[in-house]
Amino acid sequence: MEDNSLKVGSNEMELVDFRIFKEEDGEVYEGIYGINVSKVREIIKVPFLTELPGTPEFIEGIFDLRDVVIPVVNLAKWMGVKEPQEAQENARVIITEFNNVLIGFIVHDAKRIRRISWSEIEPATFVSAANGIDSNKITGVTKIEDEKVLLILDLESVVQDLGLYEPETEVKVEDIGHFSGLAMVLDDSATARKIVKGALSKMGFEVIGAIDGEDGLVKLEELYRAHGDDLQNKLKIIISDVEMPKMDGFHFATNVKDDPRFKDIPIVFNSSISDHFSEGRGLEAGGEAYLVKFQAGQFHEQVSKVVHEHTKK
């Protein structure tokens, strides 16, 4: 039997394809969206929800899922679109887990699982607005059949805006290690890059940023031209996101570890994906550690440990 599981370094992802419909001038329009399967716990029918007083209207309420209380966000209401009456017939709740937080999202239909290469996903910088969504709430876009476009939602950004999750970015000064040398950060999110750059700068590193895996490889080549074989001593650590258009973090790491010039530079993954399977994939790809975004204390502790171990070699 053929093994259809994703291979580490394959530069592919699996998406849950879901739909949000809106009614405008008597016409119904279909919005096509996606979320990484790694962030989806399960998809269920809309349960009975207990309303929470004083919350925005797009937070429909909470419910108990196997002794865990989960808040539920109505994505259509959050987008500010008018829902057609018939859209409720196939409505589902996508139970997600990321940043170690469980949240449900009501969608009008959950269609299928799609396997897509990250190389086919473009950054959403050219998207001015889509169905009321700011482009900074979209991590990427890709074409599907019939020349339709699927938008990959940045649910972490949505949840952060709703106040349901807040990254821990501060750490006690005495707990910050003091280092020197270079550090590289790969992340397609400008906000995430800024947070990680700030943390590394406080530790004493000179930080180089890259927006995806392809850009990271280009930056490594530039650094090698500047430092030659001494780069393995100069570049103390690479912090890489996992989900990035063009080339994801696992594929980037596989390329780095396969190159004798760079293979000894430690890589730490820093991702919102908080399932144990992805952590295992990160270690298999050659990462020294896998962190869930963003807990400053844990970040400083793990980075310090990895850099100290690398320095001893």
pLDDT at 132: 54
173-312 homologous superfamily: Response regulator (3.40.50.2300)
Name the residue ranges covered by the structural domains of the chain.
12-161, 173-312
Q: Which residue has the higher pLDDT, 87 or 32?
A: 32
Nearest partner of 110 among 126, 94, 86, 121, judged by Cα: 94
Dihedral of the CA atoms 85, 49, 62, 102 (nearest 10)?
-70
pLDDT digits (tens, 9 = 90+) for 117-176: 988 988 776 554 555 566 667 888 999 998 899 999 887 777 777 777 666 666 554 555
CB 180 within 8 A of CB 232: no
Query: Closest by alpha carbon to 133, among 109, 158, 97, 168?
Result: 158
pLDDT at res. 3: 43
* Element containing residue 200 per DSSP (H, E): helix 190-202
Q: Where are the beta strands (DSSP E) in the chain?
A: 12-24, 27-36, 40-45, 59-65, 68-74, 92-98, 101-107, 109-117, 129-130, 133-134, 138-143, 149-153, 182-186, 206-210, 235-240, 267-271, 289-292
Between 18-32, 47-61, 152-166, 223-237, the lowest mean confidence (pLDDT) is in: 152-166
**CA 306 to CA 312: how far, in whole Å?**
10
**Each residue of 258-302: pLDDT tens digit?**
999 999 999 999 998 988 788 889 999 999 999 998 888 889 989
DSSP 28-57: EEEEEEEEEGGGEEEEEE----B--TTS-T
pLDDT of residue 173: 47
Cβ burial 168-185 (10 Å sphere, 16+ → b, else e)? eeebeeeebeebeebbbb
What does the mean pLDDT of the chain come to?
A: 87
**pLDDT score for 234:** 94
Q: Please answer whether residues 137 and 33 qualify as being in contact, where contact means their C-beta atoms are separated by less than 8 angstroms.
A: no
Q: Give residue 190's pLDDT.
A: 83
Common-topology check for domains 12-161 and 173-312:
no
| Lowest mean pLDDT segment, chosen from 10-19, 51-60, 96-105, 129-138 | 129-138
CATH T-level fold of 12-161: OB fold (Dihydrolipoamide Acetyltransferase, E2P) (2.40.50)
CA distance linking residue 170 with residue 188, whole number of Å: 22
pLDDT band at 58 (very low <50, low <70, confident <90, very high): confident
- The amino acid present at 63, given as its one-letter code, is F
Query: 243-256, pLDDT tens digit by residue?
Result: 998 999 999 999 99
CA 85 to chain centre: 33
Confidence class of residue 78 from pLDDT cuts 50, 70 and 90?
confident
List of long-range contacts for 218-225, beta carbons under 8 Å, 24+ apart: 219/184, 220/184, 220/256, 220/262, 223/182, 224/261, 224/262
